[in-house]
Amino acid sequence: MAQTVFRQGEAASPSTEAQMVHERYAKRMANDPRYSFFNPAALYAQQERQRAMLTTLSRRGVVDLGEVDVLEVGCGDGGNLLEWLRLGCHPERLMAIELLEDRHAAAREKLPSSVRLVLGDATAVDIAPESQDVVQVSTVFSSLLDDAFQHLLARQMWSWLRPGGGVLWYDFTVDNPRNPDVRGVPLERIRALFPEGIVHAQRITLAPPIARWVTRIHPTLYTLFNALPPLRTHVLVWIGKN
């Protein structure tokens, strides 16, 4: 697996990087079957991530999601927000920001009107400081290729958190040699982005190419192969704010 290198250089402006994200996502296949829950590899990974998320929250003392304010950065079509609702979050305490118009529209269509959805660049959205208990970000930073933009977004997210809250992070840590539009975000990079945070990480998610291969043989092989830590490519991280 290739090692990610973060290089210093001339930074793109926030508007430039946001436009580049639009262009990168425009290349992606719509309704990619690899990520459908009819695909056992995707379903098992999602269920594993949900279990890890609930364990992480319970260890932080969260037992009633109805009392929690949650903001998701890069909500896509709203799948994670639906999870929060099913787990007991009140819709009026849920908020999300999405850069891409089609994904924002899809999320708006499927979510209750009391869930606040904002269309735009998260670095430019006006959110009250220290107003959120959880700021969730899932496979977003791996799509941001400009270092300065990453730091700007991380500072924004950190400012929205109340003391005692945290960033709930899920992303992959190694480069995908077949996709130059993404790069892995290793733990040392996460710590550099949130230098004031207390980082608790766990490695999860069987490498998707392996997961798709073994689940074609039998779905339960996902669990067997995922028992080998070197085959896990993602991390679920709680970045706590004291």
**Burial class for 198, CB neighbours closer than 10 Å (0-12, 13-18, 19+):** exposed
Q: What is the mean pLDDT of residues 140-169?
A: 97
Residue 8: CB partners within 8 Å, gap ≥ 6? 147
pLDDT tens digits along 86-95: 999 999 999 9
The Cα 202–Cα 51 span in angstroms is 12
The Cα 107–Cα 76 span in angstroms is 7
Core vs surface per residue 69-100: b (16+ CB within 10 A) or e: bbbbbbbbbbebbbbbbeeebbeebbbbbbbb
Kindly report which listed range (29-38, 117-126, 147-156) carries the lowest average pLDDT score. Answer: 29-38
The Cα 103–Cα 73 span in angstroms is 13
Query: Is the pLDDT assigned to residue 21 strictly greater than 60?
Result: yes
Residue 56: its pLDDT value, please? 96
Q: At what angle do helices 14-26 and 147-160 cross, to 10 degrees?
A: 100
pLDDT tens digits along 95-123: 999 999 999 999 999 999 999 999 999 99
Q: What is the mean pLDDT of residues 238-242?
A: 96
Residue 33: its pLDDT value, please? 84
pLDDT tens digits along 178-223: 889 999 999 999 999 999 999 999 999 999 999 999 999 999 999 9
